[in-house]
Chains A and B, each alone.
Chain A
Amino acid sequence: MAKNTKKAEEPVRKNGLFEYAPAPESPAAAGDIATSYGHFIGGEFVDSSGSEALKTVNPATEQVLAEFAQGTEEDVDRAVAAARKAFTDWSALPGSERAKYLFRIARIIQERSRELAVLESIDNGKPIRETRDVDLPLVAAHFFYYAGWADKLDFAGYGSNPRPLGVAGQVIPWNFPLLMLAWKIAPALATGNTVVLKPAETTPLTALRFAEICRQAGLPKGVVNIVTGDGRTGAALTSHPDVNKVAFTGSTPVGRAIAKQLAGTRKKLSLELGGKAANIVFDDAPIDQAVEGIVNGIFFNQGHVCCAGSRLLVQESVQDEVLDALKRRMDSLRVGDPLDKNTDIGAINSAAQLARITELTAAGEAEGAERWSPACELPGAGFWFRPTLFTGVSQAHRIAREEIFGPVLSVLTFRTPTEAVEKANNTPYGLSAGVWTEKGSRILWMANQLKAGVVWANTFNKFDPTSPFGGYKESGYGREGGRHGLEAYLDV
């Protein structure tokens, strides 16, 4: 670990405060997890045509939660055929009827939100506090929001009676499994498309549980199909000739490969890819609020956030003050059991992701940046990474350029607003940015200059179904959420 990290064994608790008592949520609230899962195709749970099975583990314990099918090309074929068959009736249904199905789904998600929150936490490793207070409320809200659009599409600004595209092939990541599913499925269904969705191979469980919700809602068979598997299944889905629309959220290299794969076809494509957001703190910013924003920006969801504020740009004159306050705050972050309601930072999602974070942070040290982490005990089993910050980072360092996707903050400094803009925009990504200052005109000037799809001013990592989300440059194209999010699923 870092050279200046205090020994983890030190018994004294932070700042002389009392330690929290454990407040664990019951894993039993997740409901029954089957020992093995097939796909959800045509309204039924079905076995894969192949025999290969993958395992999903609880990243906090490394215990296997369930086996699930590695989707074959034949499986994808079946799912696309089911979606194609369902498309005729679903797209012909009056919008007001489609809306009611989506409202039903939203309501059932609310009813089952504790179960889904616990299941998500177990499968993903993220703290229950976040699944309960962020993921699940946003999932339900997203279905609610798009439900209301289904019978109002004539007024969305895409001409009268805008038509759906057909079958949507959707591939989502592991960082917000159910929320990304909602971002994909809700607008697709509202506009009259049918979908085949592939969840990530480390977090398939909530998508499969969502399939049950579709059944409870009485959703017509084949409107939603879930096929599990790894990248091979994803490639089979995105390249399937009978898919009319591809939506992908994930890494920029995979997004690039999909864009190449679709070149010369008539498939519509939307991509929500990586980021390396700058969180810019000016000398007149309210420091305590800014520090909360910095912490929320990079340590929310273990930093497994494409729009994470992974580069802190702090004005030189307040650098020491900000970093001192930030370190104090990081010292009080609680890393550990995701099901403990007091936990701030849960488990890293997978061994592979932990290896990636470890490699990039090692590169940060090797390239000369100074590493710091608070002393904190990490559980023995599972995948864990201490909240980490690097100072003395230059723009050329890998930790300033590459998406780490972990709880690692790179700190750079600037003197003038112009320099801040230049450094913030000096990246092939352009997903999000943060600005902290009390000066209104400066906020608006910065917001104008920053090449990013979302700019959070005096706040960070806020999401809402009405607010469009998506990137500039190599962070992808198309928007999810809001009125803009409809466009990706309409033939316009």
Chain B
Amino acid sequence: MTDIYGAAPAVEEPEDKAVYADYVDGTDPVMHRVSLELSRSHLNIIMPDGERILWPLDEVRALKDQAYSDGVVLAQGFDDMARLKVDNPFVAKELRAVAPRLNRAQPVTNWGRIGAWASGAVASVALIIFVLVPIMADQLATYLPPEGEQALGDATFEQIRGALGRENAAVRLCEDSDGLAAIDAMVDRLAPDDDLPYPVRIAVLDHELVNAFALPGGRVILFRGLIDEAENPEEVASILAHEIGHVVNRDPTRDALRSAGSIGVLGLLFGDFAGGTVVLMLANQLINAKYSQAAETGADDYAHDLMRDAGLDPAALGTIFQRLMDEYGDAEGIAAHFASHPQMIRRIESAQAASEGGEYGLPVITEAQWQDMRSMCGDSHAEQDAPEDDENGGGRIERRVDEPDAGRGGGTLGGEN
């Protein structure tokens, strides 16, 4: 008996030594010491009692990803439970050479079922994220007691001040009383009180960002950079009217509730693999963008009406947007889908459309009040324009506003995007 023989022209017979392996038959844990022979088409497994088990060579497969890769563990097809363990590296190598389909992968027969469940999963996640959660968030937002919203807004406000500050110092609040009086006068002129669920509280932060946003509970934040950027008080008033629109629509609160629902669901999908958090945040941003673009348009519309009713030209919102777009550009292409705000050009057009046919008289505040507002953060900053570093191409990124915390801030002005 030879250890391994084939049908090729016979050569000198090697020494007559048997090749052994360990065999289990899949019915009990008895390990059989078997000897192996190879025919033209079959692997012969010879049991200790002489019984021969024949495995067709083209059905023999090797288990994959095995730790002891010098040896091999063999099976016949994919349903048979028997296993043959060959630890001898030379024999394993020999067998690898003669079995033609040793490394084939198990065919997947249930793609249809997987596809059905995948569609089901996608549909149910989509239903929850795009329909159920937003509807519930919209409904629940109107039932929240104002105290709850205010507490949420206050917490977020402090987080934002801390995040924008430097070296452990939160961003300074501009609390010059004349400036605050000017802002109050501006709000009085806009007279949004009939629409508001609770009083609006405006704060000015000493920071060069050209931005403003609304937080839950009626908090509106203006940045010094925005007041510097504005050429007249009507432009600031138009931004303020826009943010008040968010407060009236309770957009920040809806955002917070919606994120609470959808982030957990998205977490399910991506699991906790390395870096899943980034994918999660991107997906959440994409979903939020759709809703927040609608919210921005709603706030713009509200601002137009509020301005007109106060006898102010809504086109002011368009002129400040136009300047921002000239300086920082607009989000286009793929970026536009991730942007939390509608494209600038459309917002400018609709502001101009809202302006038509109206008659506008008095300025929103007096020139003296406007000067008070411009200097409320101290004179040192007033002269200093926003850094003009667009030419290095990095300008847009450096100046991009971090979304205050995935949806909790809600309703930024979005001058950057």
**Do A and B belong to a common assembly?**
no
Q: Taking beta carbons and an 8 Å cutoff, which residues of B are in contact with A?
A: none
Q: Taking beta carbons and an 8 Å cutoff, which residues of A are in contact with B?
A: none
